[in-house]
């Protein structure tokens, strides 16, 4: 049996200027799955165009004109999550966010410093002392709430996205999210002060693997994710 629905990625949720933020788009697919999944991005998700979300025999795909934009598979997101810093430590870490000085996509929905409060998430993950991790505070607002009064899962996926990039050696270089797997442990309500943590897992050639997590102010795990980042090849002569 096949089910279909149509979604449109609003330009508000862009990562690069002309495509959707990877974490947000993966979260749309992940929310439709209703269980922990890994979502692989096959092409840049287009903005302001109708996309078809299809499920057939357990296979979930996001399509544009029959071309696959993203596809999902079950994934337990079995990663070791480090002990979180305090909220005060995350605030201090964010002051060193390298995106304040140089940013590849300064209008990114998640981490773009040119996005005003109430528009972008403004998660600015900076180095956490000598722990070889990055961290940032985050307080989700009312615009991110779903019908049940909690933060919609695609926004939790989005919050888990960019800190992973800044935890890798890629920071400051052109790279795109290739795959992301996330699991939500508990609902989050608007106004809850959180800590977002990112850490490097390992690298292999142009692929870099990271982990991210969201914690409430008391240190309880809200959500976790693993991600694969792909460094883009420089243009010829670049």
Domain count, the chain: 2
Q: Where are the alpha helices (DSSP H) in the chain?
A: 22-33, 87-94, 153-159, 162-166
- Is 61 inside a domain boundary? yes
Whether residue 63 has pLDDT greater than 50: yes
- Model confidence over 221-233: pLDDT tens digits? 999 999 999 998 7
Residue that is last in its domain, among 74, 103, 131: 74
**Residue 99 within a domain:** yes
Using 50, 70 and 90 to split pLDDT, how confident is the model at 74? very high
The two beta strands, 207-216 and 221-231, are: antiparallel
Q: Tell me, yes or no, whether 23 and 105 share the same domain.
A: no
Instruction: Tell me if 32 is assigned to some domain.
Output: yes
Note the pLDDT of residue 55: 87
pLDDT score at 120: 97
At 37, which helix (H) or strand (E)?
strand 37-41
At 232 the pLDDT is 84
User: Do 18 and 94 reside in the same domain of the chain?
Assistant: no
Please, what is the average pLDDT of the chain? 93
For residues 40 and 115, state if they share a domain: no
Q: Which 8-state DSSP code applies to residue 65?
A: T
Assess whether 217 and 111 both reside in one domain: yes
Q: Which helix (H) or strand (E) holds 7?
A: strand 2-8
Residue 52 predicted with pLDDT over 80: yes
| Shared-domain flag, residues 42 and 153 | no
Q: What is the pLDDT of residues 111-131, one digit of tens each?
A: 999 999 999 999 999 999 887
Domain match, 181 and 157 both: yes
Q: Is residue 238 part of a domain?
A: no
The answer to whether residues 64 and 96 belong to one domain is: no
Residues 149 and 207 placed together within one structural domain of the fold: yes
Regarding whether 148 and 221 lie in a shared domain, the answer is yes
pLDDT digits (tens, 9 = 90+) for 75-109: 999 999 999 999 999 999 999 999 999 999 999 99
Q: Is residue 237 part of a domain?
A: no
CA distance 60 to 151: 23
Do 67 and 102 reside in the same domain of the chain? no
Where does a domain end: 48, 74, 100? 74
Cα angle for residues 167, 73, 230 (degrees, 5° grid): 35
- pLDDT tens-digit map of 171-184: 778 888 999 999 99
Strand 67-74 and strand 37-41: pairing? Answer: antiparallel
Specify the pTM: 0.95
User: In the predicted model, is pLDDT for residue 237 greater than 60?
Assistant: no
Give the per-residue pLDDT at 238.
Answer: 44
Sheet holding 133-138, edge to edge: 2-8, 50-56, 59-64, 67-74, 37-41, 175-184, 221-231, 207-216, 194-204, 133-138, 126-127
> Which has more pLDDT, 175 or 10?
10
CATH code of 173's domain: 3.10.129.10
What integer pLDDT is reported at residue 121 of this predicted model?
A: 98
Are both 37 and 115 inside the same structural domain?
no
Domain that includes residue 47, residue range: 2-74
- 157-216 tens-digit pLDDT: 999 999 999 999 887 788 889 999 999 999 999 999 999 999 999 999 999 999 999 999
| CB distance 161 to 227 below 8 Å | yes
């Amino acid at each position: 049996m096949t089910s279909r629905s149509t979604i449109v990625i609003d330009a508000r949720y862009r990562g690069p200027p002309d495509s959707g933020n990877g974490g947000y788009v993966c979260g749309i697919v992940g929310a439709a799955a209703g269980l922990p999944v890994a979502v692989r991005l096959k092409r840049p998700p287009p903005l302001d165009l109708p996309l078809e979300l299809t499920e057939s025999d357990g296979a979930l795909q996001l399509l544009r004109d029959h071309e696959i934009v993203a596809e999902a598979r079950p994934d337990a997101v079995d990663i070791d999550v480090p002990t979180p810093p305090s909220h005060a430590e995350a605030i201090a870490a964010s002051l060193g966010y390298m995106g304040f000085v140089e940013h590849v996509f300064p209008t990114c929905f998640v981490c773009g410093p040119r996005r005003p409060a109430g528009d972008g998430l403004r998660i600015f993950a900076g180095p956490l002392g000598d722990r070889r991790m990055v961290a940032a505070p985050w307080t989700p607002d009312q615009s991110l709430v779903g019908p049940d009064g909690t933060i919609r899962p695609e926004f939790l996926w989005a919050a888990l996205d960019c800190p992973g990039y800044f935890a890798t050696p890629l920071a400051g270089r052109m790279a795109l999210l290739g795959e992301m797997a996330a699991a939500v442990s508990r609902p989050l309500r608007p106004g809850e002060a959180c800590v977002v943590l990112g850490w490097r897992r390992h690298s292999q050639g142009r692929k870099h693997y990271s982990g991210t997590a969201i914690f409430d102010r008391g240190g309880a795990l809200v959500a976790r994710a693993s991600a694969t980042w792909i460094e883009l090849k420089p243009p010829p002569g670049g």
